[in-house]
Amino acid sequence: MDKSSKIYIAGHRGMVGSAIQRKLEKEGFTNFVTRSSSALDLRDQKAVADFFEQEKPDYVFLAAAKVGGIVANNVYRAEFLYDNLQIQNNIIHQSYLNDVKKLMFLGSSCIYPKLAPQPLKEDYLLTGLLEETNEPYAVAKIAGIKMCDAYRAQYGCNYISVMPTNLYGFNDNYHPQNSHVLPALIRRFHEAKEQEAPSVTIWGTGSPKREFLFADDLAEACYYLMENYNEPGLVNIGTGEDISIKDLALLVKKIIGYEGEITFDVSKPDGTPRKLMDVTKLSEAGWKYHTGLEDGIKFAYQDFLSKEGEFAQR
């Protein structure tokens, strides 16, 4: 990408999109085109077509999506399927029609089968049943991967797909019902500390293991792959290391300084037992993460504290 190239970041206000923009700005890119969701509904086919025809971006980072944790995924099943299919269909197709030079499609590690062998290799895609609670989101993201590959095969489009592990960092979503596990824990332990609550309850047994990547590390990987990777299929982006939900909760508790107890509500679902990414392909492409989990959570907590007033309204 030339420094003067026009770059469209779909989802630039979200945690991933904003991290990508920060990384590109750091590298000297200045020609960005962005639209908030209120200015451009990416589910609207005509609106997206008009936008691409008017702006003609050279490169596209497709980081816009309807996302959420285990509760949101399970409750808003129709929206997670419809909204995500519409967003990616419109952007990928209009990128083709308007001669975008390269597109990066971002998905999630939840595309893999629930009981796939660990760690998760890219070729385990579509080898088994998905986790039921987030199946609609996963089906949409799998369709996006296949769409990028189909446009590459039929039209020669240089579209690549990357699948990040669980992310956290600046600009995260701390909604009490719709957030992912790590930001949810940060908010819950912080509020428990403020209210001097005797205990914090965690869903499930605490035994499932999860991998976490700092969003600014993801942005570095995305920039690296956009510059150096041009293959079909998908690339996992992660750390290659995981931690149990129980140990994660203990780490967040320590960082926040909460002194009460942790209890586990075993009547609630655990979700997938383990989701560790195999990052061999990424490592062989020449990239490795650098922000450790404890340092990353400290950064995220400081960001949370700086925006606590906003979160209190939600």
Beta strands 159-164 and 59-62 are unpaired
Is 108 annotated in a binding site? The answer is: yes
Tokens, residue 14: 């979200």
Is 13 annotated in a binding site? The answer is: yes
* 223 among known catalytic residues: no
Is 180 annotated in a binding site? The answer is: yes
CA distances from 177 to 68, 74, 184, 313 (A): 9, 11, 8, 14
Is 167 annotated in a binding site? The answer is: yes
Is 173 annotated in a binding site? The answer is: no
Is 156 annotated in a binding site? The answer is: no
CA 99 to chain centre: 26
Is 164 annotated in a binding site? The answer is: yes
The amino acid occupying position 168 is Y
Quick check: helix, strand or coil at residue 65?
Answer: coil
Is 106 annotated in a binding site? The answer is: yes
Q: Each residue of 218-250: b (16+ CB within 10 Å) or e?
A: bbbbbbbbbeebeeeebbbbbbbbbbebbebbe
Torsion sign over Cα 169, 171, 172, 174: positive
Length of the chain (residues): 314
Is 257 annotated in a binding site? The answer is: no
The active-site residue out of 8, 96, 112, 137 is: 137
How far is the C-alpha of 44 from the C-alpha of 86, rounded, in Å? Answer: 8
Is 188 annotated in a binding site? The answer is: yes
HSE (CB half, 13 Å, CA atoms) of 191?
Answer: 15
Is 281 annotated in a binding site? The answer is: no
Q: Each residue of 101-133: b (16+ CB within 10 Å) or e?
A: ebbbbbbbbbbbbbebebbbbbebbeeeebbeb
How far is the C-alpha of 111 from the C-alpha of 127, rounded, in Å? Answer: 11
Is 226 annotated in a binding site? The answer is: no
Is 169 annotated in a binding site? The answer is: no
- The CA angle 254-260-262, to the nearest 5 degrees, is 80
Quick check: helix, strand or coil at residue 53?
Answer: helix
Torsion sign over Cα 116, 117, 118, 122: negative
Is 244 annotated in a binding site? The answer is: no
Is 182 annotated in a binding site? The answer is: no
List, as residue ranges, the binding site.
11-17, 106-109, 141, 164-167, 180, 188, 203, 210, 270
List, as residue ranges, the binding site for NADP(+).
11-17, 106-109, 141, 164-167, 180
List, as residue ranges, the binding site for substrate.
188, 203, 210, 270
| Residues that are catalytic | 137
